[in-house]
Amino acid sequence: GDNANFMKQAVPFGFYKALTVYTYLLGDALPMKPLGKSVPEGIWGNVPSYVPWLLDETPMGKRFYAEFKKRIGHPAPSYMAPAAYDETYVLKYAIEKAKSFEPKDIAKAMENMTGDYILGKVTIREIDHQAMVPVIVGRTVWDEGLGYMAIKRDTKVLWPDKYPDLYHSPEEIKKLRGG
């Protein structure tokens, strides 16, 4: 998309040498694979929680990752495949908890629901139905096995329980909503 086009065009102008750059979706297969080695190493950014090296750290992640590689033949999915997989389980758990297919019942069942997902235990907050997932921040490095610039393994994984400022607090949300 636009991020990939921008990154391609920025290299000849020395953009990455002149500035410290921070960008979203850095290291994910979808925007980075088409760029190959055209983007320099060492760019700062964050990725959704589903980076390949984090996928194989939980039982559900290991199952998903092994099956993905077997069926698709690619070493790493974009964040969208494991996110959709987890979202399906969120819905499954909520329907089971609600014992209903009614949207209002399902939404209510999700409040403060904790389940086992690819990333491990994740809780969905009552106030905003936000899944409290980690944010991964780091620099790009060429990964020969993946065939694209990826976030390094020694990257900082910010878990919501250890970094309370990662998401708005319930009090901040109430204030932002005017209440």
Instruction: Please state whether 92 falls in left (phi above 0), alpha (psi between -120 and 50) or beta.
Output: alpha
Q: Strands 148-151, 135-143: parallel, antiparallel or unpaired by DSSP?
A: antiparallel
- Structure confidence by residue, pLDDT tens digits, 138-175: 888 888 888 888 887 667 778 888 888 888 999 999 99
Rounded to the nearest 5°, which phi and psi values hold at 77? Answer: -85, 160
Cα 61 to its chain centre, rounded Å, is 13
How far apart are the C-alpha atoms of 32 and 19, rounded to whole Å? 20
Q: Which of 138, 148, 176, 179 is nearest to 76 (CA)?
A: 148
Across all residues in the chain, what is the average pLDDT?
85
Q: What is the pLDDT of residues 44-66, one digit of tens each?
A: 887 766 776 677 778 888 888 88
The pTM of the full predicted model, rounded to 2 decimals, is 0.78
Of the two residues 170 and 2, the one the predictor is more confident about is: 170
Output the pLDDT for position 80. 83
Residues contacting residue 21 through CB under 8 Å, at least 6 positions apart: 10, 15, 43, 44, 45
